[in-house]
């Protein structure tokens, strides 16, 4: 579900980042720059900006000459530990808040990064087919199964019923985080991979050569009384 961002989400950060703005400055809502920014917001325009400053809980970049605030939580998909590393970097962003009356401009890179990651995952999933056997590492264990990291940004779930041929109450009876396991892709639905360890044993059983049993012909089973007494010495 797409996140909805409002001014309230960044109230403290915004106040801190714009604290050096003169109190008597009144924005002209007819200013072409602000009109352009509002249009960027409506069109979800992708912009390339250069980070020009660091403030409390975020960084600053200028768009159309207007000072914009990028919260640290909107810079990356992961946790941003050091904002200094972002200074003078060029990144792609979108306008998520454009408020000319209060002179508040908020930008975000997170949505674009999420879309890019989702597209890359879809591309990788397209190369995976049901029946594929591969190796992965157990990255987490839940009561209902274990998530397996297959590498290259892909992961899948081995349901508890697909871990062992024997019935087990919990995945951690058999698996632990960090284990390397061989799995088989048994389903792909809604961008999610369903994996199985149990299916590997079933596959191995199917691959065993079928033993041929020859049944003697009827005439070979026929035995006469003469045959029975022929070798008996009285």
CATH code linked to domain 7-115: 2.40.50.140
Q: 3-state SS of 48-117?
A: EEEEEEEECCEEEEEECCEEEEEEHHHCCCCCCCCHHHHCCCEEEEEEEEEECCCCEEEEECHHHHHHHH
User: Tell me, what's the pLDDT at 126?
Assistant: 84
CA distance 205 to 207: 5
Lowest mean pLDDT among 20-24, 38-42, 79-83, 216-220: 20-24
Domain ranges of the chain: 7-115, 128-205
Tokens encoding 148: 């397996």
Is residue 57 within 8 A of residue 72, CB to CB? The reply is: yes
Pairing of the two strands 154-159 and 192-196: parallel
User: Tell me, what's the pLDDT at 201?
Assistant: 80
Same fold, 7-115 and 128-205: yes
Fold of 128-205: OB fold (Dihydrolipoamide Acetyltransferase, E2P) (2.40.50)
Write the pLDDT tens digit of every residue in 144-159: 999 999 988 889 999 9
CA distance 40 to 36: 6
pLDDT at 21 over 80: no
CA distance 128 to 71: 37
């Amino acid at each position: 579900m797409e996140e909805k961002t409002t001014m309230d989400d960044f109230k403290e950060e915004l106040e801190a980042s714009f604290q050096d703005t003169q109190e008597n400055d009144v924005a002209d809502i007819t200013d072409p720059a602000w009109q352009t920014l509002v249009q960027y917001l409506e069109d979800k325009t992708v912009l390339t900006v250069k980070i020009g400053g660091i403030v409390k809980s975020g960084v600053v970049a200028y768009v159309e000459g207007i000072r914009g605030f990028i919260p640290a939580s909107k810079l990356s998909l992961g946790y941003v530990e050091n904002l200094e590393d972002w200074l003078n970097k060029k990144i792609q962003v979108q306008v998520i808040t454009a408020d000319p009356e209060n002179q508040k401009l908020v930008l975000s890179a997170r949505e674009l990064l999420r879309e890019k990651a989702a597209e890359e995952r879809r591309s990788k999933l397209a190369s995976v087919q049901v029946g594929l056997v591969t190796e992965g590492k157990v990255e987490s264990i839940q009561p209902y199964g274990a998530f397996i990291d297959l590498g290259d940004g892909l992961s899948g779930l081995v349901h508890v019923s697909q871990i062992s041929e024997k019935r087990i109450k919990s995945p951690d009876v058999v698996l632990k985080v960090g284990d390397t396991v061989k799995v088989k892709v048994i389903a792909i639905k809604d961008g999610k991979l369903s994996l199985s360890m149990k299916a590997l044993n079933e596959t191995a059983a199917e691959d065993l050569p079928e033993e041929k049993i020859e049944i003697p012909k009827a005439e070979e089973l026929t035995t006469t009384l003469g045959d029975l007494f022929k070798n008996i010495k009285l």
